[in-house]
Chain A
Amino acid sequence: MKWRSTIFILATAFLAVFVEASLGLFRNLLGAKIDLLPALMVYAALTHGLGTIVLLAMCGGLWFDSLSLNPLGASVLPLLLIGLLIFRSRDLLMREHVFAQVVLGLIAGAVQPLGTLFILLNKGATPLLGWFSLWQWLVLTAASGAVTPVCFGLFDRLRRTFEYQPVVQTSFRPDREIKRGRI
């Protein structure tokens, strides 16, 4: 059933990139565009395997870069790095706790633009940077932190809808039944 969940994640990433590019609401309201891919990557890294992480990093990153002036692949490596770091230590993380999800979302949202910027500067590009970039970075980080628990809620609900749910076992066992006879 994991493949179905992987398709949901990729479809959400596709829609997220399109919405980021076509909706000017956040750009006009906050002066910054938000990125939903780090939040999706946190979810994928905590709940899915390496294949899903690589697919999300490659597809999400390439879709994002194709609509942007970024060099093709600039967003892929930071996403992959985030996914792998979380994947490596996911057994130590309390992934079901909202607080942990928010913190991981915040960290992913902060690392993703910095990583992309690092690659851009190493490529010799001259992106639009200034003091206001700090504000944009904070907005990106906060948005990612806020969206991560929503991702968990949404995908868990989808999983419960489409996956087979095992019947909950009762504590009743016929061999442990106390049969009272006549004393």
Chain B
Amino acid sequence: MLKKSHYIFLVCVVLLVLAMLQLPGGTMSKFKLAISGLFLPLFGLSNSTHELVGEATGTAISKRELLLQNEQLRHDNQQLQIQLQQTAAIAAENARLRGEIGWARPTRWRVKLARVIVRDPSNWWRSMEIDLGSRDGLRSNLAVLTSDGLVGRVQSVGETRSQVVLLGDPNLRVSAKISNGETGIITASSSAPQDQGMIGLEFLSGASTAQPGQSVVTWGEGGVFPPGIPIGKIVDARPKEYGLSTEARVKLAANMGALEEVWVMLP
């Protein structure tokens, strides 16, 4: 059924695909961002639909409910202002004490809001695309978070979009610190890979005293993530490799199943 010319054509196609598979990482990322740029009109359409639905929902809310929400927000705002004053006083005292003993001043986090465009369509990776790129000052290896905690890291950057690797993906490892001072590495959870909200904390010492409920934050080693970003809370811990090390499961603070807007931490 297939002619000789067909076979030659197919061999050329296969060779082309094999050559694509061998592209270096940077070139491949650029190609991928260029190809996914074809979806830009659909991204725009999806965003517009989302906004329209939001507006339609907004008009359906009664005035009484809006007034109640407004009152609640005003109350929350006042509380937050008081907390902010307290925090500012503590920060000033902290800066003064650091200056007296010669420690470096902690840098303030500069963040930028990004909208999630699409999620990875395959089952074996956890990644997503956001609507910020090099034009907005992004570069690779920046931390991505929500108000609840760490979400992932910027993997590759296009002009207007970037790809973010999420926590739980095998390509993302984060040095983490438990509230009791122990340190480990955040990896994909080997016991519950299907659960987007669960990750593993490995390489804890064999004599670890990690307990359920203890909070986990970024350690700051490795130079990608600044220290102190909340990651989650320990669910359980079990010895591994005949007691030589301990592995804990961590429930993520951020709701990974419902990410719509995230914050990118700028350098």
Contact = CB atoms under 8 A, between A and B. Distances in A.
Could you say which interface size class chain A belongs to? Answer: 35 or more
Interface string A116-152: 1101100100111110110110001000000000000
A88 B1 CA distance: 7
Secondary structure at chain A's binding surface: helix, strand, loop or mixed? Answer: helix
Contact of A54 (B9, B23, B188): B9
Contacts of B165: 69
A128 B21 contact: no
B120 A69 contact: yes
Contact of A68 (B18, B121, B171, B194): B121
A71 B126 CA distance: 14
Contact of B23 (A33, A72, A77, A128): A72
A17 B124 contact: no
B21 A54 contact: no
A128 B168 CA distance: 9
A120 B122 CA distance: 12
B95 interface: no
A116 B168 CA distance: 21
Interface in A64-93: 64-74, 76-77, 80, 84, 87-88, 91
Contacts of B2: 50, 88
A91 B120 CA distance: 37
B170 interface: yes
Contacts of B35: 62-63, 66, 72
A92 to B, nearest CB: 11
B126 A128 contact: yes
Nearest to A32: B123
Contact of B6 (A28, A50, A58): A50
B48 interface: no
Contact of A28 (B21, B169, B257): B257
Interface string A32-68: 1101000000000000001000100110011111111
Interface stretch (A19-27, A153-161, A168-176): A19-27
B193 A129 contact: yes
A99 interface: no
A42 B89 CA distance: 67
A20 to B, nearest CB: 4
Contacts of A70: 122, 125
Contacts of A67: 36, 39, 118, 120-121, 129
Given A67-B36, A72-B31, A128 B10 contact: no
B121 A35 contact: yes
A58 to B, nearest CB: 7
B28 A72 contact: yes
Interface in B177-215: 188, 190, 192-194
Contact of A80 (B13, B32, B188): B13
Contacts of A123: 21
Which 6 pairs between the two chains have the least Cβ-Cβ distance?
A: A127-B124, A66-B35, A132-B194, A69-B125, A73-B20, A21-B118
Interface of B: 1-2, 6, 9-10, 13-14, 17-18, 20-21, 23, 28, 31-33, 35-36, 38-39, 42, 46, 117-127, 129, 155, 163, 165, 168-171, 188, 190, 192-194, 257
